[in-house]
Structure 1
Amino acid sequence: MSAPATAAQPSTFSRFLAPVLLVAAMWVIQFVDAVLPLSFTGFGLRSWDLQGLLGIVLGPLLHANWAHLIANTGPLLVLGCLVAVEGAVRFWTVTAFAAVIGGLGTWLFNAPGTLTVGASVLVFGYFGYVVLRVFSPARLAHRLLYAAIALIVIVLYGGAMLGGVFDAAAGVSWQAHLFGAIGGGLAALGGRRRAVSA
């Protein structure tokens, strides 16, 4: 006798576990960084430095201070959960796209030696994904739902996202914001192409 179809499907809670664990890891790292007599921020992304490329992976997990982490936590959880609702594999795929494309763009287009840390590259990546997910080849009902979610996200975060790219304050990496959003958008469009060709 076969098991019910619902048994193989992840629960709603488990879908949101990935972004929660990612944020929890950032908080633990920030706490350890604050307690130990050293700073982890040196492991961030350092532009035009080949050794600094490791910061593509580590940079999004590190923050300059508690205020920086707190500012990223809310949007990362909200937008990350909107991505994670499609499953952990999709969440980590979009995270990788945002981190790698956002990191490479920042590494190339920031001034040599500039150190960049913070999860905003992921926040902008999730924003780009959620907005461009509208173009996925899903059923009409799903596309309408995606469009409604994208509209709400644009209303809530659109101004801050535009400001983060075109009116970034001194010391804020508009490059990470812009290329992170491009990475998330490419993840959405890449998923669309795979679904069409399948």
Structure 2
Amino acid sequence: MREPRLMHTVTRVTLFVVALWAIQGMAALLGMSLGPLGVQPREVAALHGVVTAPLVHGSYSHLMANTPALLVLGVAMLYGYPRASRIALPIIWLGSGLGVWLFAREAVHLGASGLMYGMMLFVFVMGILRRDRPSMALAMLVFFLYGGMIWGVLPLKPGISFESHLFGALAGVAAAFLLRHRDPLAERRVRKRPVDPRREEEDPVIGELWRDAEAPEVPRRRRDE
């Protein structure tokens, strides 16, 4: 069952990324500006950007930079936590957008970076909280591949919405704490030692009897000897 579920997850995440490329291509083909679909902090008329901003990007290079991480992190999250991700994704999507709308700098914030940071922190924190083997393996994988992303929550580069990264990451951490018990933990396989019926500690009641039963019978001396 795991292989079909993995392929189904890969297909879903791939279709989402393909949709992002289709939106970008359609906008370029029609000469449309995607800026009005971004988040404009504290602009009530642009509140829709909380929903639409992750679907649009400032350029092809921006979308290209996000594509590999969206694929890997999306598959890791949806495959590793199929139940929790149904709630975690809306939390990350809307949480990052609302955080930007409420507290970010005056600018147009767009792109799926907030979603990407939220998924990365969600998978990583889930591994720390749950501590079963699949969760820890996924946490180590995403940390090895994208752990350096954590510096993106700081205002180190002008022109990059670190606020989207920051609030996406916070939403991912919050979702992990809230939903850590949503999916069942993996069962731990315990290797059972082979049972030796001849060991007296296995059956203290008859522990000594088998020895007497299998000891070679010594002929008793006749009384007249």
1:131 lines up with 2:119 in the alignment: no
User: Is the contact made by 1:45 and 1:59 (CA closer than 8 Å) also made in structure 2?
Assistant: yes
Matches within 5 A, 1:69-84: 69-84=63-78
Q: Distance in 2 between matches of 1:46 and 1:92?
A: 27
Q: 1:90 to 1:10 in 2, by over 3 A?
A: farther
| 3-state SS in 2 of match to 1:169 | coil
Q: 1:109 to 1:25 in 2, by over 3 A?
A: same
Query: What is the CA distance between 1:89 and its match in structure 2?
Result: 5.2
Aligned to 1:164: 152
User: Is the contact made by 1:53 and 1:107 (CA closer than 8 Å) also made in structure 2?
Assistant: yes
1:40-99, Cα deviation, whole Å (9 max, x unpaired): 221111101112221111000000010000000000100110011046654443221111
1:150 lines up with 2:143 in the alignment: no
Q: Distance in 2 between matches of 1:168 and 1:36?
A: 34
User: Is the contact made by 2:80 and 2:135 (CA closer than 8 Å) also made in structure 1?
Assistant: no
Matches within 5 A, 1:18-167: 18-86=12-80, 90-112=84-106, 114-137=107-130, 143-159=132-148, 161-167=149-155
User: Is the contact made by 1:62 and 1:119 (CA closer than 8 Å) also made in structure 2?
Assistant: yes
Q: Which ranges of structure 2 fall in alignment gaps of 5 or more residues?
A: 185-225
TM-score, normalised to structure 2, is 0.74
Q: Which ranges of structure 1 fall in alignment gaps of 5 or more residues?
A: 1-5
Q: Distance in 2 between matches of 1:163 and 1:11?
A: 33
* 2:174 paired residue among 182, 186, 196: 186
Deviates more, 1:59-68 or 1:85-94: 85-94
Q: 1:165 to 1:57 in 2, by over 3 A?
A: same
Equivalent position amino acid for 1:63 in 2 = H
| 3-state SS in 1 of match to 2:156 | coil
Equivalent position amino acid for 2:13 in 1 = P
| Pairs aligned (count) | 184
Q: 1:28 to 1:17 in 2, by over 3 A?
A: same
Tell me the C-alpha RMSD between the 2 structures: 2.3
Q: Distance in 2 between matches of 1:147 and 1:194?
A: 16
Equivalent position amino acid for 1:179 in 2 = F
Equivalent position amino acid for 1:21 in 2 = L
TM-score, normalised to structure 1, is 0.83
Query: What is the CA distance between 1:147 and its match in structure 2?
Result: 1.6
Q: 1:10 to 1:87 in 2, by over 3 A?
A: farther
Query: What is the CA distance between 1:165 and its match in structure 2?
Result: 1.2
Bigger Rg over Cα: 2
User: Is the contact made by 1:15 and 1:87 (CA closer than 8 Å) also made in structure 2?
Assistant: no
User: Is the contact made by 1:18 and 1:88 (CA closer than 8 Å) also made in structure 2?
Assistant: no
The percentage of aligned residue pairs carrying the same residue is 33
Query: What is the CA distance between 1:193 and its match in structure 2?
Result: 5.3
Q: Distance in 1 between matches of 2:59 and 2:38?
A: 13
Of the two structures, which has the highest relative contact order with CA contacts closer than 8 Å and spacing of 6 or more?
1
| 3-state SS in 2 of match to 1:63 | coil
Equivalent position amino acid for 2:115 in 1 = L
Q: Distance in 2 between matches of 1:183 and 1:147?
A: 20
Q: Distance in 1 between matches of 2:80 and 2:133?
A: 16
| 3-state SS in 1 of match to 2:36 | helix
Query: What is the CA distance between 1:181 and its match in structure 2?
Result: 1.0
